[in-house]
Amino acid sequence: MSKDRKLLPLDQRPYRPGIGLVLLNSRGLAFVAQRIDTPDDAWQFPQGGMDEGEAPRQTALREMKEEIGTDKAEIVAESSDWIAYDLPPDIADKVWKGRYRGQSQKWFCARFTGADADIDLATAHPEFSRWQWMDLARVPELIVPFKRALYDRVVAEFLPVARAMGRRPG
Host domain of residue 117? 13-167
- Relative to beta strand 73-78, strand 30-35 is unpaired
The reply to whether 161 falls in a domain is yes
Q: Which residue has better confidence, 39 or 100?
A: 100
- pLDDT for the residue numbered 40: 74
- Nearest to 157, CA basis, from 79, 81, 46, 103: 79
- Nearest to 113, CA basis, from 75, 87, 143: 75
The reply to whether 135 falls in a domain is yes
Q: How many residues does the chain have?
A: 170
- pLDDT for the residue numbered 1: 45
- pLDDT for the residue numbered 5: 65
Q: What is the CATH number of the domain that holds 108?
A: 3.90.79.10
Residue type, 45: F
| Per-residue pLDDT band at 2 (split at 50, 70, 90) | very low
The reply to whether 124 falls in a domain is yes
CA distance 131 to 154: 19
If you ran DSSP here, which 8-state letter would residue 11 be given? G
Residue type, 73: A
Question: What is the model's pTM?
Answer: 0.91
If you ran DSSP here, which 8-state letter would residue 66 be given? H
Q: Which residues contact 24 (CB under 8 A, 6 or more apart)?
A: 30, 31, 109, 110, 111, 112, 136, 158, 161, 162, 165
Q: Please state the domain count of the chain.
A: 1
| Per-residue pLDDT band at 6 (split at 50, 70, 90) | confident
Q: Which of 87-91, 128-132, 151-155 has the lowest mean pLDDT?
A: 87-91
